[in-house]
């Protein structure tokens, strides 16, 4: 009886373990060097015909680039750290998702982390992303004036969205013209006859004098308004608690200006609990035009910053910095556009 030989540690009929097809095997199949195959797969330095031939052979052989080997060879991971200030803010959720899509369109992958509105946590996460060798960091800062940004920006390209990182040399900035936005809202409310305005801000006591808060004080003084800045969390339940306290006060302001539409939703909820009507008993204005704001009753008057353009510009500056490309403008200033609806009325 013939003896059946088997590979040690393997039973007859057992399938071979999956083995990654190598670049060398694709090169042997096409009769090209490994360098030429590598160039062809990246669409560089070869003819279109050669590129197509190599891609066809790679597909037939089941070749997939090894991301670790590619990162070691190029010094790049194709990962971009995206650090959100606070993802309880629905508009920030929308922005981060849009940035992720823009990066993915360029074969970059977003690693999105949430600072939760905490400036200390923000810097800790930024350092972790740096240490994980992301190709760049895109950040919507909680504390834009923190000194720690300088060292991080020296270690990798950093692109800021929203506020400028004053202490860091960034690779790019997509800045909101908050002064113009705040001026337009407070002038609008002043024109409707409001002289006492509460401003809900996500600013924490540990990060006073953020630019937007400073602009409120300056505009209020110029207009002769009484504007009270009140810290408020972005989470709906917590924002509702803060708004309820304001509306229950002995002499509440006639208007509430919210530094995000998410904060404004808390005012709507608190008003409903108190049997007050937004747009009649209290005027409310938001600051970022989230889609939900259009379907409220009444629809929320707010400020549109052009989210699709912000995401596209932020991704463009980030990719350019990773690739070492020179850009004509590293600082993009986003202008506000008022969206007047039914939530603010004349008094």
Same domain? 287 vs 238: yes
Summary mean pLDDT of the chain:
90
What is the Cα–Cα distance from 162 to 336, expressed in whole angstroms?
12
Q: Is the bond preceding residue 298 a cis peptide, omega within 30 degrees?
A: yes
Closest among 333, 326, 37 to 161, alpha carbons compared: 333
Give Cβ neighbours of residue 2 (< 8 Å, ≥ 6 apart). Answer: none
Kindly state the DSSP code that residue 294 receives in the 8-state scheme: G
Does 259 share its domain with 182?
A: yes
- pLDDT tens per residue across span 174-233: 999 999 999 999 999 999 999 999 999 998 776 666 889 999 999 999 999 999 999 999
What is the residue range of 190's domain? 178-305
CATH of the domain at 254: 3.40.50.2300
Whether residues 315 and 206 share a domain: the answer is no
Total tally of structural domains belonging to the chain: 3
The model's pLDDT over 35-82, given as tens digits with 9 standing for 90+, comes to 898 888 877 788 999 999 999 999 898 887 665 555 545 556 799 999
Residues 216 and 132 in one domain: no
pLDDT for 200 equals 97
Q: Which of 86, 81, 167 is nearest to 127 (CA)?
A: 81
Alpha-carbon distance of 258 to 60, in angstroms, equals 57
pLDDT at 18: 58
């Amino acid at each position: 009886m013939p003896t059946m030989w088997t590979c040690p540690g393997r039973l007859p009929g057992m399938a071979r373990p999956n083995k990654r097809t190598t670049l060398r095997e694709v090169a042997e199949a096409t009769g090209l060097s490994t360098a030429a195959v590598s160039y062809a797969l990246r669409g560089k330095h070869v003819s279109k015909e050669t590129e197509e031939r190599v891609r066809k052979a790679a597909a037939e052989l089941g070749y997939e680039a090894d991301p670790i080997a590619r990162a070691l060879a190029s010094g790049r991971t194709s990962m971009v750290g995206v650090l959100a200030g606070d993802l309880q803010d629905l508009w920030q959720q929308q922005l981060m998702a849009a940035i992720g899509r823009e990066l993915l369109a360029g074969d970059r992958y977003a690693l999105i982390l949430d600072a939760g509105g905490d400036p200390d946590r923000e810097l800790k996460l930024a350092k972790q992303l740096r240490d994980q060798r992301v190709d760049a960091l895109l950040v919507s800062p909680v504390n834009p004036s923190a000194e720690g940004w300088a060292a991080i920006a020296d270690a990798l390209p950093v692109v800021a969205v929203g506020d400028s990182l004053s202490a860091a040399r960034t690779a790019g900035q997509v800045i909101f013209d908050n002064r113009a936005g705040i001026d337009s809202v407070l002038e609008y409310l002043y024109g409707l006859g409001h002289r006492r305005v509460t401003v809900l801000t996500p600013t924490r006591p540990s990060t006073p004098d953020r630019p937007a808060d400073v602009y409120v004080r300056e505009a209020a003084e110029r207009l002769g308004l009484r504007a009270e800045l009140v810290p408020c969390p972005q989470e709906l339940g917590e924002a509702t608690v803060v708004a309820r306290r304001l509306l229950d006060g002995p002499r509440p302001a006639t208007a509430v200006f919210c530094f995000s539409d998410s904060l404004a939703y808390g005012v709507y909820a608190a008003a409903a609990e108190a049997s007050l009507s937004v747009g009649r008993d209290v005027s409310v204005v938001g600051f970022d035009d989230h889609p939900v704001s259009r379907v409220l009753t009444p629809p929320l008057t707010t400020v549109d910053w052009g989210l699709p353009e912000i995401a596209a510009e932020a991704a463009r500056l980030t990719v350019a910095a990773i690739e070492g490309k020179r850009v004509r403008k590293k600082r993009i200033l986003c202008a506000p556009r008022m969206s007047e609806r039914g939530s603010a009325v004349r008094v």
